[in-house]
């Protein structure tokens, strides 16, 4: 193994960066020095960080970078065994053949055709939230947080309706998902409370759906479990856990990051308003420019592997930065610029290979409807604070803002 030094500890750590813009600058500096780096992650674990696009795309598809199976999640030794089992047996933690079996159960629910069939209902939910947002602008004396008023409630409503979760049950989800996607930042107590609360709720919900099944994805998954051995009880609970957390948190970031990008590039906002037919390609460019995820789920090398001339032994942690790869200038000249007119916007925001996000078609439809409808409804929005005052949540996986204060521009 080449003795590659750790990054300079005096320079910003992208995973810990909270000031808007610092994270992207930190990744740009790393990528400029090469596509792969020795790195100490926020948990204290030492491993390797991939930031180059070509290297990231290759690693995402190479079976030597494995998920390693259940048992590698945060606080495994401190949580009750029943909680670990109910959140850890999902497809993001498995390699084939278990990954193949679990993914197949979800594929039909998240096809592009199925996502497009959901578009009218997503549009209806969006219009209702925009009506409420217009009322908030009219009555508010100060800025309105677009995340709490729009970017969060839309995706959670969509995934809950898909799963068949009653509206009255959705209130606690946001409080739970924060610690669940950023465990090392919140600490054990907050994580344990969130995980236990959500697991208890999921088990109760599964029991309720068994008694009274309805026409929804969760009832269909329960039927698969109860009719054979294709889905264990822990896999069923873990799948619901994954869909609830990952199924909405990433789309929240897609919408909020997209609005932030357009508001800091008003000429792009104006172009999209004048040419709304560009919304599909605009969503892809926004995903590339400031995607909802910093990194894919960490992997473990199952055998010695050479990464761009660096010999990495078996058993090493490797994290693939999707956010950095999408801005690699070696892959895309002018990658630091937002341009919704790009003829080709190849990106890794949803990953690549067998672990590419199964919910990508639904997220794309939600992003297209949410952003397109927002721009049509409000001719001019503006940030209510300078962009440098926006705060990003620290963490290994998510790339999201804590708040997005906006107001209707008088100009």
pLDDT of residue 354: 93
What percent of the chain has pLDDT above 90?
65
**Residue 13, pLDDT above cutoff 80:** yes
pLDDT of residue 291: 97
Distance of CA 307 to the CA centre of its chain: 26
Question: In sequence order, what are the beta bridge partners of 46?
Answer: 40
pLDDT of residue 411: 55
DSSP structural state of residue 216: S
Highest mean pLDDT range out of 159-163, 219-223, 255-259, 391-395? 255-259
Q: Which residues are CB-contacts of 331 (< 8 A; sequence separation ≥ 6)?
A: 52, 53, 54, 325, 346
> In terms of DSSP bridges, do strands 310-312 and 144-145 run parallel, antiparallel, or are they unpaired?
unpaired
Q: Which of 201, 228, 124, 118 is nearest to 162 (CA)?
A: 118
pLDDT of residue 227: 67
Contact 185, 42 (CB under 8 A): yes
**Residue 386, pLDDT above cutoff 80:** yes
Q: Kindly report the number of other CB atoms within 10 A of residue 53's CB atom.
A: 24
pLDDT of residue 50: 98
pLDDT tens digits along 149-201: 999 999 999 999 998 988 888 777 778 888 887 787 788 899 899 999 989 99
| pTM across the whole model | 0.93
Q: Average model confidence (pLDDT) for the chain? A: 91
């Amino acid at each position: 193994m080449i003795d590659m030094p750790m990054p300079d500890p005096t320079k910003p750590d992208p995973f810990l960066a909270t000031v808007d813009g610092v994270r992207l600058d930190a990744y740009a500096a790393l990528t400029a020095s090469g596509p792969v780096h020795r790195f100490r992650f926020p948990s204290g674990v030492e491993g390797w960080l991939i930031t180059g696009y070509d290297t990231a795309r290759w690693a995402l598809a190479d079976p030597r970078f494995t998920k390693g199976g259940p048992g590698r999640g945060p606080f495994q030794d401190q949580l009750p065994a029943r909680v670990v089992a109910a959140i850890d047996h999902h497809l993001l933690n498995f390699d084939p053949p278990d990954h193949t079996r679990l993914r197949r159960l979800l594929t039909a629910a998240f096809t592009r055709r199925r996502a497009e069939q959901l578009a009218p209902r997503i549009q209806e939910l969006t219009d209702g939230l925009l009506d409420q947002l217009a009322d908030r602008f009219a009555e508010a004396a100060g800025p309105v947080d677009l995340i709490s008023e729009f970017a969060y409630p839309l995706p959670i409503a969509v995934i809950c309706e898909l799963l068949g979760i009653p509206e009255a049950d959705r209130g606690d989800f946001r409080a739970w998902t924060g610690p669940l996607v950023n465990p090392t930042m919140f600490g054990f107590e907050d994580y344990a409370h969130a995980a236990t609360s959500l697991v208890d709720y999921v088990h109760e919900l599964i029991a309720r759906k068994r008694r009274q099944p309805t026409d929804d994805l969760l009832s269909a998954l329960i039927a698969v479990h109860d009719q054979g051995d294709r889905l264990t009880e822990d896999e069923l609970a873990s799948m619901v856990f994954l869909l609830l957390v990952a199924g909405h948190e990433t789309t929240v970031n897609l919408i909020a990051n997209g609005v932030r990008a357009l508001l800091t590039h008003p000429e792009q906002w104006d172009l999209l308003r004048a040419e709304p037919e560009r919304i599909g390609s605009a969503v892809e460019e926004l995903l590339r420019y400031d995607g909802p995820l910093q990194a894919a789920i960490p992997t473990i090398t199952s055998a010695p592997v050479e990464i761009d001339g660096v010999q990495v032994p078996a058993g090493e942690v490797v994290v693939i930065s999707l956010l950095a790869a999408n801005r690699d200038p070696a892959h895309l000249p002018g990658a630091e610029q937002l341009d919704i007119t790009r003829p080709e916007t190849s990106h890794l925001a949803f990953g690549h290979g067998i672990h590419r996000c199964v919910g990508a078609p639904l997220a794309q439809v939600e992003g297209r409807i949410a952003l397109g409808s927002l721009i049509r409804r409000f001719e001019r929005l503006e940030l209510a604070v300078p962009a440098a005052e926006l705060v990003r949540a620290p963490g290994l996986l998510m790339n999201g803002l804590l708040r997005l204060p906006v107001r209707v521009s008088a100009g």
